[in-house]
Structure 1
Amino acid sequence: MKKLLLLFFLIVVSSVFAQVQNVTFKVEPDPFNEDEQITITVSNVNPSLWGVTDIYLWAWSRKSSDSNDVNSPTNGTWENSNEVQKMTNNGNGTYSISFVPTTFYARTGLESIGFLVKAKNGTGEKKSQDYVAQVGSIEVPPLTEAPLPAGLVDGININPNDPSKVTFVLFAAQKEFVYLLGDFNNWEKNNNYLLKKDSGKNRFWLEISGLTSKTNIRYQYLVDGVIRIADPYSTTILDENNDKFIDEVTYPNLPSYPTGKTSHAVSLFRIGDTPFNWQIKDFQKPAKTDLVIYELLLRDFDVLHSFNAVKERLDYLVELGVNTIELMPVSEFDGNESWGYNPAFHMALDKYYGTPNAFKQLIDECHKRGMAVILDVVYNHATGQHPYFRMWNTSNGGYTGEATTENPFFNRAATHSYSVFNDFNHSKTSTQDYVKRTTQFWIDEYKIDGFRWDLTKGFTQNCSASNETCTNAYQADRVAVLKKYADYQWEIDPNFYVIFEHLGTNQEETEWVNYRLNEGKGIMVWSNLNGSYNEGTMGFNSNGKSDFSWISYLRRGWTVPANIAYMESHDEERLMYKNISFGNSSGSYNVKDLNTALKRNELAGAFYFTVPGPKMIWQFGELGYDLSINTCPDGTINNNCRVSNKPIKWEYFDDVNRKALYDAWTKMLKMKNQLSIFQTDDFTLDVAASTGLKKIQLRDKSQNPEVEYITILGNFGVTTQSITPNFQKTGTWYDLMTEATINVSNVSTPISLAPGEYKIYGSSQVTLSSEIFVNEQFSTLFPNPSTNFFRVGNEVDKVEIYDMLGRKVMQFEGDFNADHRFDTSQLKPALYWLKIYKDQASESRQLIIQ
């Protein structure tokens, strides 16, 4: 979520909350009963900011059995508060109102009352934050002080020897007592479910037994008798308002919310289920340098918006040349339809996309196809639903207000200039523990291959919301904590992809790129080339507008291609939309013409996929998606619709001109994936000319390469022009896209290129494999990586070895016993595909020869 998206959020937030005031409430007496008079006094309020002199109370109440708040019968309307609830000006900057709760709210059995203050007409958010007060005396339960048993983690701990026993652990610094509520005690306070307290570790814990196997178990914590929260470490959340909109196809047999028994988010878990049967247990990730990432938002990728729907589309992506998918955030967020950058529970899977098993099936199917899975994760902030925000905030457990100074996780005010929602304080040990626990869970539970960390600029504690210069400058505390977070991931998976969306100084990003690089690790970073590539596709090249040379990792002074370059992402305006809306023209040549615009994106691909290093495609970019990022559901374009649902355009695939773009990018990606020259560090980019003429040249220095030299020429201008190719050698050169040849006797003879035309010339002809390998694993393969031999762990009839061009380089045929040794000493170090046969079954496996 780069700066542009953050600015969108800030625009929305500022337009909604620009006049919200954080005031101070005082309720007397405290505590109070529902049938005695109370006085509410508010201070630190300035009615003039709302353009008024009087303020009014807006109030609501809740019973323990309610699932929703009930408004005061004398509230009036938001646009016209009832005069009965006008507060008395005390003449000293404070305002008061007195009443008996049962009379004021016209109901009895109250558990809590809530209120805010507002202008008579609250339109334009002329209001304060919410405040909730508990009704009744604070209880003094029979609390037991006891040390937390060794080996337990925050959240639920299932006894490995007796799954019917579960220990619940809650971090709750400065809290007095905690009850466990749930199906096991009919959601009622019971001293048998009062958690024990370990004051030294700031934790409450309780073991309960006799839980039923293969049954949905729902629970919450009641903190200090006031705040009902779900477990911060929930893996599934039930929502009282949004679950009803999740259909049976997406989430079969969705457990029901305990309506009438409680309120707020509820945690769900099960015991005794058969563990998921992973088919791929030893997935070999694509090399970081070779990643072809497809970023997608499930909601806007398929009308079924589900993991199952994406699973059915995987062959389409494999055929395109994708070897990694990156999912926009799938952890539990507010509501159902979202980009996901409003996280509420970082360890829970959002049910709008499907079940945990469906997610695991998607990942398993990706791994069968040699595809890695990366998740977009959001640890800069959390919404007001987050339990750790609600436990220590100025709205006394509500969703609004701000974190109190005692909050062990959140800053009271953001310490960077791109703040949205509630800002985590990453200098706190409690926050770091939370990040470690939740991130490692996704790797262990779902076999995730990498994380793309959203908005890493926000992880500093040194700046302020008003100081963008500070936020964008090098910050040592941010570097240190993010290195620690990388270590957490590598602790579980030494080959985990760690990717930061930082878009900051080269100094800071270089430090991450080089971190533990000598161990084969190192952190990758997002690299936004949208602006320069789009200027080129539109046909504007003067003053370096279309100079995309920053795509070269060599230009950044790096020894490895750690920059994940992209022409489009979820955050960027679509290339085709700007081509069609703002494209350049000359005579009859007009970039605004649809088919011309598509060819311009094909040209861009020739100068994008061929640059060594990882690449990323935003969904449907390969088909020329031409609707603005700000398209509204009614088809209009408005900045406020940035995160709105977008039309899903699978019909593009049936359009011959859009399919031509897909086919061209597919061929380019096959070259990138199968030719070792595109992994070289011997390449140059000449892409800055104001004429729009651009050139890339590569050389494969390895012994006996498939193709030693490649020269790429392109005309990003809008008129026919000639370019001096400076071929690396004379002789026959092959157009790798069309198979046409040219005879080069003078390497400097100019070549004429029409506007939008490009050539990818190779010094030798190549044959690209069209076979899709799928891991239908029934055997074990070891060692892998190997040197001179490998073994297959069961009986096989035949083994074929293919190089990455799809050429068969070795074959073994016969009746081979389990663990037979297959000699590969004649193969050079590289990545290969094995096809293994037994009776009528076959499978494909990757083999690395070192």
Structure 2
Amino acid sequence: MKNKILSVVFMLFASFIFAQQQNATFTLTPAQFNPDDQVTITVSGVNLSTWGVSDLYLWTWFYDLNDQNQQDSPTNGSWGNSDEAQKFTDNGNGTYSFTFIPQNLYGTSNIGSIGMLAKAKDGSGDKKTQDHFVEVGVFQFNLNSPTDNVTILNSGNTLNIDASTTVNANFELFANGTSIDTQNNQQSYTYNYTLTQDTNFELVATDPSTSSSLTATFQGIVTPNPTQAAVPAGMEDGINFDANNPNTATLVLYAPDKDFVHVIGNFNNWSIDSDYLMNYDAAQEKYWITLNNLDQTGDDILFQYLIDGEINVADPYSTLILSPYDDPFISQSTFANIPAYPTGMTTEAISWIRRNAPSYTWQNTNFTPPAKEDLVIYELLIRDFDDVQNFDAVKNRLDYLEDLGVNAIELMPVSEFDGNLSWGYNPAFHMALDKYYGSPEMFKEFVDECHSRGIAVILDVVYNHATGQSPLYRMYNNCDGCTGGIVATDSPYFNVSATHTYSVFNDFNHQSQATKDYVNKTAEYWIEEFHIDGYRWDLTKGFTQNCSGNESCTNSYQADRVQVLKDYADTQWAVDSDFMIIFEHLGNGTSRDEEIEWSNYRLSEGKGIMFWNKQTEPYNEATMGYHNSSNFSDISYENIGLAQPMNVGYMESHDEERLMFKNLAYGNSDGSYDVTDLSTALDRMETAGAFFFTVPGPKMIWQFGELGYDTSIFTCTDGTIPNDDSCKLSEKPDGWDFLTETDRTDLYDAYAQMIALKKSNEIFATGSIDMNVGNSNGLKSIHLENTSATGTELQYVTIIGNFGVTTQSIDPAFQETGTWYNLMTGNTYQVNNTNSTISLAPGEYFIYGNEEANLSNTSFEASTISLYPNPANGSIYLSEEVNSIHIYDITGKQILTKENIRPNQAIDVSAFHKGIYLVQLEQNGNTIQKKLVVN
């Protein structure tokens, strides 16, 4: 059995979104220095063009004399905007320098060591170097050998101990607390120790001139021999609790080609202990151990697996983890009582078991999701949706989304990802909830509240890849468990290099049974534990093993990914037969054959797989007033060859430039009509909505698109927009301030009414669709027919619109003569000649139906009551007497209630904050809802 060496490197680094980190060389002059000495840092090996910047900045921190209590430099600035005080000087030869006096920079002389990295001014997107650490003080002590904290050797082998100091020192070596060797007045120390038992070493170096001492501790461990034993029946990979004994848990780790595994944790002081050597089941290639007396550890059980004495990883199936990099930035109000990370005892992620976690009683246990054809999905990124950035913040905004008509919320990934401020497509633990968004109980409350309002919850899941923080990667790489490097050839989970052309991070091999088991188990968990209603599967084109470096192969039909994704779907439906599955495949050409096959899969059982149907470019061309590529006819499921409406159509998603930004930046014009005018651009977004929500099939809105969100996706945190995509993943401002702008809330109201039409009338669900939207003049029309309509149901709908920038006439081609109804206003339109042209101003549209529409949303019920002035800032008045008035803020909190209001009676709202409010009036048994804007 080969010798094993534990590599434990004590370092802290900032973990951000996607890997653009560079490795640089740091040189300090002088190499040894005291806190009051002047020091110059020189950095080489950084390619700033890779980050799209021209300047380099120092980000630095320090530890006290005990190498604890990390504190940042006061002049670091923020990660997204470094302070100019720490800008490196460009030496003009590919190197960069920064000169400082440590005690002046950090504001203290209590400095034991310094950490540093170099970064772009906005470091988001991981635009930084690796971390570099230096000790402070002229008297320094280096342990040269062993190079690691723990060395594992066969009994009788020799452990070489070698150390050096910067001045003559006295050395003393202790083994298990007993002094075994002293060597005095020298700068180097060497000793060979024959290892026959597990031994804790301490080597002390003392400067005789000052009597100051420095110490190194390390271990020598005799190679373990695991007990051969079968995994107990019923035990699954991961953490298995004993239902009859809450103080017992069995841990199971699949680890082929590994020699032995210890469990380390807060129950054994994070040290190697033979009592925590895991048993080995050779038939299954799994290690396991049953932990007893967990109550002696307290409420929080923290642990890792130490594999072959080298690699310390959390359990891959952890449901919560501790992170030394991310947890310090999580507020108590978001997740209370997170245990302190055991700094100095271990590194990297730790599995966290809460023995007495708060229980949660579900209030809605029989939720049925909306029909697929009726879906109106609202995609949101919790980070940018509200400044509070947690599940409660989204829950408090549900009134707003419910009033819009949303019946499904799609959350960008919430499983544990690297960093806190990510989009979430850098997953590390697919079964762990990312604590930055809240606790499991907070998430359950959010899902439960959504269900009480008829809103489904869909999670964006990322199974194409995992980051270097993933235990599955760290167990099998070429750098003994580091977070960098590359996949090892014996990995049972990952490809050494991606087998498709959209590679990010570490590419899962979905033909490996180990990967399939991992995906299925983690996917089942969220459905069972959190009552999730659907998944949107990210980057499904990567699920093939056939297309290394071949773009055309990646985009063509691949039978292996078709089948494995069907198999994954079967797993989800076995847990929840109504579960909604959406693939981000973005098919084109022959790869659309895969989407069609998936959409038909088990369709006769009421299932079938949905897929994203991106129509960003054609809709945006239309809203900007250009027509060479504004044909959005593929929004129709019939137009792309589907038997049922399974295509989730969208104009915007998290990944696309915002339509309103391009409207305002590049919109067309003619005379006084200018699309770059805000009011005009918003009106054109309403017209686009008329040609979007009315087309049968599931639809998706990106957050704040209903308010005309116009911050570019490429905007940096400082508000600038660079000439590249370096800030695409940076934080963006939310859209709540838009609620004070009438033009924007008018768009919200129009979308809400269109959504209400869609959900309340069968003709907008399925039926005959005629898309006439490819005209080069910008005139577009859609004709819908419900062949099964009876009575007063809508049988025909005609939508006409002018996406040009001049007034034009259109032949509406009504399906019949007679009285037609403007479904947005209720006004009638008499059709005597189905082909009589209608003049449309630029940006104008009409939605006509041959019958009046059904509307389930009472917000749009007709009422003769006027509320004025609106917007208001002092008092408001009603034109008629009402029995009561109730006013709610956008979170649903009741702000005011009054009864028996007379006509034109003043109602004081001067104390209201600026914003949008919901007004509910009761009059003679009828409920009328209105909107009030306070400015």
Tell me: CA distance 1:76–1:499, structure 2 relative to 1, closer, same or farther (3 Å). Answer: closer
SS at match of 2:611: strand
Q: 1:636 aligns with which of 720, 733, 756?
A: 720
How far apart are residue 500 of structure 1 and its match?
0.5
Provide the residue aligned with 1:361 in structure 2: 445
Q: Which residue of 2 aligns with 1:729?
A: 816
1:185 equivalent in alignment to 2:268 = yes
- Give the Cα–Cα distance (whole angstroms) in 2 for the partners of residues 708 and 572 of structure 1: 36
Q: 1:173 aligns with which of 242, 256, 271?
A: 256
- Alpha-carbon distance between aligned partners in 2 of 1:427 and 1:392, rounded to the nearest angstrom: 17
Residue 212 of structure 1 deviates from its aligned partner by 2.1
Question: SS at the partner of 1:168?
Answer: strand
C-alpha separation in 1, matches of 2:69 and 2:615 = 47
Equivalent residue, structure 2, for 1:652: 738
Q: Quote the Cα distance in structure 1 between the aligned partners of 2:834 and 2:388.
A: 54
Find the aligned partners of 2:67 and 2:240 in 1 and give their Cα distance.
Answer: 30
Secondary structure class of the residue paired with 1:440? helix
Aligned mate of 1:708, from 785, 789, 795: 795
For 2:631 and 2:218, locate their aligned partners in 1 and report how far apart those are by CA, in whole Å: 65
Are 1:471 and 2:554 counterparts?
yes
Q: Distance in 1 between matches of 2:756 and 2:763?
A: 12
Tell which structure's C-alpha radius of gyration is larger.
2
**Residue 196 (structure 1) shift:** 0.6
1:158 aligns with 2:244: no
Secondary structure of the 2:283 match is helix
Which residue pairs with 1:149 in the alignment? 232
CA contact (8 A) 1:577 1:628 kept: yes
What is the CA–CA distance in structure 1 between the aligned matches of 2:484 and 2:585, rounded to whole Å? Answer: 28
What CA distance in whole angstroms lies between the structure 2 residues aligned with 1:101 and 1:748? 95
Match of 1:456 among 536, 540, 554: 540
Secondary structure at 1:756 match in 2? coil
Once the two structures are superposed, residues 638-667 of structure 1 have per-residue CA deviations (whole angstroms, 9 ceiling, x without a partner) of 220000000112010110000000000000
Structure whose residues are more often strand by fraction? 2
Q: Does 2:292 match 1:206?
A: no
In structure 1, what is the equivalent of residue 374 of structure 2? 290
Structure 1 distance, partners of 2:458, 2:165, is 53
Q: Say whether the 8 Å CA contact 2:760–2:854 is kept in structure 1.
A: no
Measured in 2, the distance between the counterparts of 1:20 and 1:384 equals 19
Corresponding residue to 2:507 among 413, 416, 423: 423
Partner SS for 1:294: strand
Structure 1: how far apart are the matches of 2:488 and 2:697? 45
Report the Cα distance in structure 1 between the residues aligned to 2:404 and 2:813, rounded to whole angstroms: 32
TM-superposed CA distance for 1:100, in Å, is: 7.1
Could you tell me how far apart the structure 2 residues matched to 1:288 and 1:240 are? Answer: 42
Identify the residue that residue 58 of structure 1 maps to in structure 2. none
Are residues 1:233 and 2:317 paired?
yes
Same amino acid, percent of matched pairs: 54
**Would the aligned equivalents of 1:586 and 1:718 in 2 still touch at CA under 8 Å?**
yes
Distance 1:559 1:767 in 2: 26
CA distance in 2, matches of 1:76, 1:766: 65
C-alpha displacement of 1:109: 10
TM-aligned CA deviation for residue 728 of structure 1: 1.0
Counterpart in the other structure of 1:508: 594
Deviates more, 1:507-516 or 1:214-223: 214-223
Residue equivalent to 1:699? 785
Query: Is the 1:67–1:262 Cα contact (8 Å) retained in structure 2?
Result: no
* Residue 139 of structure 1: how far off its partner (Å): 3.4
- SS at structure 2 position matched to 1:665: helix
How far does residue 244 in structure 1 lie from its aligned partner after superposition?
0.7
Alpha-carbon distance in 2 for matches of 1:76, 1:245: 19
> Residue 102 of structure 1: CA displacement?
3.2
Kindly indicate whether the alpha-carbon contact (under 8 Å) linking 1:240 and 1:265 is maintained by their aligned counterparts in 2. yes
SS of 2:730's equivalent in the other structure is: coil
Change over 3 Å in CA distance of 1:313–1:153 after alignment to 2: same
Do the aligned residues in 2 keep the contact of 1:157 with 1:166 (CA within 8 Å)? yes
- 1:763 paired residue number: 850
CA distance in 1, matches of 2:237, 2:540: 25
SS at match of 1:683: strand
Q: Is the aligned partner of 1:560 residue 2:560?
A: no
Structure 1 match to 2:603: 517
**Aligned residue type for 1:681:** G
Please give the secondary structure, in 1, of the residue aligned with 2:726. helix
Shift of 1:706: 2.4
Matched residue, 2:828? 741
- CA contact under 8 A between 2:367 and 2:451: conserved in structure 1? yes
Q: Distance in 1 between matches of 2:475 and 2:133?
A: 31
Query: What SS does the corresponding residue of 2:450 show, helix, strand or coil?
Result: helix
CA distance in 2, matches of 1:377, 1:680: 29
Aligned 8 A contact 1:483 1:512 in 2 = yes
In structure 2, the partner of 1:816 is none
The one-letter amino acid paired with 1:667 is Q
- Matched positions, count: 685
TM-score w.r.t. length of structure 1:
0.76
Equivalents in 2 of 1:515, 1:372: separation in Å? 22
Instruction: Tell me what 2:388 maps to.
Output: 304
Q: Which amino acid aligns with 1:764?
A: E
Any gaps of 5 or more consecutive residues in structure 2? Answer: 1-16, 26-44, 49-65, 71-110, 119-128, 135-141, 143-159, 176-216, 860-935
Distance 1:370 1:224 in 2: 51
- The corresponding residue for 1:314 is 398
Q: Deviations over 1:695-733 (max 9, x none)?
A: 111122223252221110000111101010111111111
Pair 573,254 (structure 1): closer, same or farther in 2 beyond 3 Å: same
Contact 2:645-2:766 within 8 A present in 1 as well? no
- Residues 284 and 77 of structure 1, relative CA distance in 2, 3 Å threshold: closer
Does residue 668 (structure 1) correspond to residue 754 (structure 2)? The answer is yes
Which residue, 479, 486, 493 being the options, matches 1:395? 479
Distance, in Å, in 1 between the alignment partners of 2:117 and 2:449 is 53
2:489 to 402, 405, 409: 405
Correspondence list, 1:575-614, <5 A: 575-614=659-698
Task: Report how far residue 335 of structure 1 moved.
Answer: 0.8
Superposed, 1:106-125 pairs within 5 Å as none
Equivalent in the alignment of 2:206: none
Residue of 433, 437, 440 corresponding to 1:349: 433
Q: Is this contact kept in 2: 1:395–1:401, CA < 8 A?
A: yes
What is residue 31 of structure 1 aligned with on the other side? none
1:274: Cα distance to partner? 5.5
Instruction: Provide Cα deviations, 1:339-376, integer angstroms capped at 9, x if missing partner.
Output: 00110111000010000000000000000000000000
Partner of residue 95, structure 1: none
Q: Which deviations, in whole Å up to 9, do the C-alpha atoms of 1:448-487 show, x marking residues without a partner?
A: 00100001111111112x3212211111111111111111
| 1:103 aligned residue | 164
- Larger displacement relative to structure 2 (676-685 or 523-532): 676-685
Letter aligned with residue 791 of structure 2: N
Letter matched to residue 509 of structure 2: N
Instruction: Report the CA distance between 1:220 and its aligned residue.
Output: 1.0
Unmatched tracts of structure 1, length 5 or more: 1-10, 22-46, 51-64, 86-98, 111-133, 773-850
* Paired AA for residue 615 in structure 1: K
| Paired AA for residue 141 in structure 1 | P
- 1:679 shift after superposition: 1.4
For residue 137 of structure 1, report the CA deviation from its aligned partner.
6.0
How far did residue 252 of structure 1 move?
1.8
Calculate the TM-score normalised by the size of structure 2: 0.70
1:767 positional shift: 4.7
Structure 2 CA distance for partners of 1:189 and 1:279, relative to 1, 3 Å: same
| Displacement of 1:142 | 4.0
Assess if the C-alpha contact under 8 Å between 2:358 and 2:441 holds in 1: no
Change (3 A) 1:105 1:682: farther
Go from structure 1 to structure 2 and tell me whether the alpha carbon gap of 1:12 and 1:340 turns closer, same or farther (over 3 Å shift): closer
Confirm or deny: 8 A CA contact 1:408 1:430 kept in the other structure: yes
Q: Pick one of 619, 629, 636 that aligns with 1:533.
A: 619
Whichever residue aligns with residue 844 of structure 2, its letter is E
Counterpart contact for 1:498–1:524, Cα < 8 Å: yes
